[in-house]
Structure 1
Amino acid sequence: MWSGQEPFVNIPEETIRQALKVILDGRNHPVLIHCKRGKHRTGCLVGCLRKLQRWCLSSVFDEYQRHAAAKARVSDQRFVELFDISSLKNLPFSFSSTIYSSNR
């Protein structure tokens, strides 16, 4: 069923990296994450954040599917799975109590 949304939106990895740097900087907390255009950027960003928090991919995808529901897309999950977090692992960051972190 066509929902009026583009079937795939290319999200530049550098955009996700920059957003994660903002989220990880405790000086910016609390943080509200949302997408202005409704093109699944929030789900991809949160999925990449969960990878940084060392969630296993099955838990990341479970959370994504729970919130995306009928709008879940395999391409978003593939983006999260292939996103390279190695360049962000050495950043000094703290997860405040406002960001739920779990070794799921």
Structure 2
Amino acid sequence: MSLPYEEELIPPGNFTMVSTWVYRSSFPKKKNFPFLKKLGLKSILTLILEDYPEQNKKFLEANNIKLFQFGIAGNKEPFVQNQRNHPILIHCNKGKHRTGCLVGCLRKLQRWTHTSIFDEYRRFSSPKSRSMDQQFIELFDASQVWRLVDRNHLPKWEELDVPW
């Protein structure tokens, strides 16, 4: 039996497009799987420390989606870009703080102003924005990322602040 269209496409909480082929959200639940399937995801990057639930692993396997799990607590390390894994969904439990820090660091690579970065961070982390997260984003040194990047696999984003 097919579900009505409105019920089939339920995005996870805090879902939005970050940039071309990059999305963010809270932890996906079973009711979100049809929506995620429509995105044609190749990978999911989760920032949670806990084991990934079995039903989510089965969904990923059935849809040939790679799982990258970098369990971090609070505001820790940034991630490594890899266009071979796009489209990608980035999430933690609620899509607020850890995801917000990571997206904030990406925004610095995209030459966003601190004002714009923090506005986006607070929009998703509300009502519990963390000053330590914002400080982490502010102190993030984007120049350190470029030493690790393989030029052959950069996303084709005009707004990237590529130093070469």
Residue 48 of structure 1 contacts residue 83 of structure 1 at CA under 8 Å; is this kept in 2? Answer: yes
Q: Is the 8 A contact 1:54 1:102 kept in 2?
A: yes
Residue equivalent to 1:50: 107
- Higher-Rg structure is 2
In 2, Cα distance between equivalents of 1:95 and 1:102: 8
**Distance in 2 between the 1:84 and 1:12 partners?**
13
Q: Alignment partner of 1:32: what SS?
A: strand
Amino acid at match of 2:99: T
1:1-104 → structure 2 map (5 Å cutoff): 9=73, 11-13=75-77, 16=78, 19=79, 21=80, 24-36=81-93, 40-89=97-146, 91=149, 92=151, 93-95=154-156
Distance verdict in 2 for CA 1:39–1:12, change over 3 Å: same
Matches of 1:39 and 1:60, distance apart in 2: 13
| 8 Å Cα contact 1:25/1:94 also seen in 2 | yes
Would you say the 8 A contact 1:52–1:89 is kept in 2? no
> Taking CA–CA contacts closer than 8 Å with sequence separation of 6 or more, which of the two structures ends up with the larger relative contact order?
1
Render the CA deviation track for 1:72-96: whole Å, top value 9, x for unaligned. 1111000000011112235321146
Give the SS at the match of 2:127: helix
Counterpart CA distance in 1 for 2:129 and 2:156 is 27
Q: Which runs of 5+ in 1 are unaligned?
A: 1-8
Runs of 4 or more, structure 1, over 2 Å off, are 9-13, 36-39, 89-92
Q: Which runs of 5+ in 2 are unaligned?
A: 1-72
In terms of fraction of residues, the more helix-rich structure is 1
TM-score, normalisation: structure 2 = 0.45
Query: What are the Cα deviations for residues 44-87 of structure 1, in whole angstroms up to 9, with x where unaligned?
Result: 00000000111011000000011111021111000000011112
**Residues 62/102 of structure 1: CA separation in 2 closer, same or farther (3 Å cut):** farther
TM-score by length of 1: 0.67
